[in-house]
Chains A and B, each alone.
Chain A
Amino acid sequence: EAQVTQNPRYLITVTGKKLTVTCSQNMNHEYMSWYRQDPGLGLRQIYYSMNVEVTDKGDVPEGYKVSRKEKRNFPLILESPSPNQTSLYFCASSKVPSGNTIYFGEGSWLTVV
Chain B
Amino acid sequence: QKEVEQDPGPLSVPEGAIVSLNCTYSNSAFQYFMWYRQYSRKGPELLMYTYSSGNKEDGRFTAQVDKSSKYISLFIRDSQPSDSATYLCAMSAVTGGFKTIFGAGTRLFVKA
A residues whose Cβ falls under 8 Å from a Cβ of B: 4, 35, 39-45, 90, 92, 96-100, 102, 104-107
**B49 pairs with A97, CB closer than 8 A:** no
Contact with B102, one of A4, A39, A43, A107 (Cβ below 8 angstroms): A43
Assembled-state Cα–Cα distance A78/B32 (Å): 32
Assembled-state Cα–Cα distance A42/B23 (Å): 13
> Which A residue sits closest to B93, measured CB to CB?
A98
Annotate B55-92 by CB proximity to A: 1 below 8 A, 0 otherwise: 00000000000000000000000000000000010111
Chain A residues contacting B92 (CB-CB under 8 Å) are 97-99
Chain A residues contacting B4 (CB-CB under 8 Å) are 42
**A42 pairs with B100, CB closer than 8 A:** no
Assembled-state Cα–Cα distance A105/B42 (Å): 8
**A100 pairs with B104, CB closer than 8 A:** no
**B43 pairs with A106, CB closer than 8 A:** yes
> Which B residue sits closest to A107, measured CB to CB?
B43
